[in-house]
Structure 1
Amino acid sequence: MTTTYTTTTTGRAGFPLRTFFVPFPFVCFTLALITDIAYWQTSFLMWHNFSAWLLFAGLVFGGIGLVAGAVDMFRRSTRILGPGWLAAIGYILMLLLAVVNSFVHAGDGWTAIVPNGLVLSALTVALAVLTVIFAARRRSRVIWSIER
């Protein structure tokens, strides 16, 4: 019995638009967690402002990524390369948690970050990691098929 690995989609699939925008929220939310930790350790107000702006940038690009993902779902050439429902739901939940986190960060000073903002940032990054794992598992199943 021979196992053959074939790429089923690379030759005929289009380029997904969401790949331009989806990585930005992951980076911005991770950096927001790092700046929250820096604020917690130093109490320097600059880190609070960095966190708020990083959350805002992540949410803007996340919204654009949602629209691009919806467009990709309607394009026949990129539909097969979609992240799957579990990853899409995780991405939406991550953005909703980031919206709540952004509202918490809108407060003044120490109480906006410690402890609630820091916990929400950590949960957002944890959900981002899970979403990436779900998307990677789905993509690896789509691109490589095993024929017997």
Structure 2
Amino acid sequence: MAVLSPTDRDATAYPIQSLFVPFPFVCFTLALATDIAFWQSNNLMWQNFSAWLLCAGLVFGVIAILAGLIDLARPRTRPLRAAFPSVLLYLVILALAFLNSLVHAGDGWTAVVPYGLTLSAVTSAFCLVAAAVSARKYARLAWRI
């Protein structure tokens, strides 16, 4: 039986939010892809896919925020918490996705083109920026720079 010292236990901490943060990014990026498919084909199935992907991304985004709050309460994961710019970007992404979901609630072509498609593209761009900002922080932490 191995006995872990306090420093070993701290090293094995894993933030719960890391399990949920990728889901909204994937859902919002796929919503952009389905918006482009709707724009090119005018098939209402793609509009429905976009609406469901936005809904799933928002649900998992809220779960990720709640998991982040739990991680703030856990002493072992406090050093691994997201930086303030990352948190701010996550909140902007969720706000844009919520607005995009309201736009997609309309019927037909005007629910997606041009405003829904533009909001999906902007949301996906913010997802890329947030991923780059988060990766930079974790790289610094891993390499102790």
* Between structures 1 and 2, the one with greater strand share: 1
Contact kept in structure 2, 1:22 and 1:65, CA below 8 Å? yes
- What are the equivalent positions in structure 2 for 1:1-148 lying under 5 Å apart? 12-146=11-145
Amino acid at match of 1:137: R
Tell me which residue corresponds to 1:3.
none
Question: Percent identity between the aligned chains?
Answer: 53
Contact kept in structure 2, 1:104 and 1:116, CA below 8 Å? yes
The higher-RCO structure (CA 8 Å, 6+ apart) is 1
1:77 counterpart SS class: coil
2:106 counterpart SS class: coil
Q: How many angstroms apart in 2 are the aligned matches of 1:35 and 1:10? A: 44
Q: How many angstroms apart in 1 are the aligned matches of 2:12 and 2:62? A: 24
1:141 Cα deviation after fit: 1.2
1:19 Cα deviation after fit: 1.2
1:73 Cα deviation after fit: 1.2
Once structures 1 and 2 are overlaid, which stretch shifts more, 13-22 or 96-105?
13-22
Distance 1:101 1:77, change over 3 A: same
Q: How many angstroms apart in 1 are the aligned matches of 2:96 and 2:125? A: 11
Deviations 1:30-59 (A, max 9, x none): 000000000000000000000000000000
Q: How many angstroms apart in 2 are the aligned matches of 1:48 and 1:87? A: 30
| Unaligned ranges ≥5, structure 1 | 1-7
| Unaligned ranges ≥5, structure 2 | 1-6
Amino acid at match of 1:29: F
Contact kept in structure 2, 1:9 and 1:143, CA below 8 Å? no
Q: How many angstroms apart in 2 are the aligned matches of 1:9 and 1:137? A: 24
Amino acid at match of 2:64: G
Aligned-residue Cα RMSD (Å) equals 1.6
Amino acid at match of 1:24: F
Contact kept in structure 2, 1:10 and 1:143, CA below 8 Å? no
Deviations 1:4-44 (A, max 9, x none): xxxx9996241111111111000000000000000000000
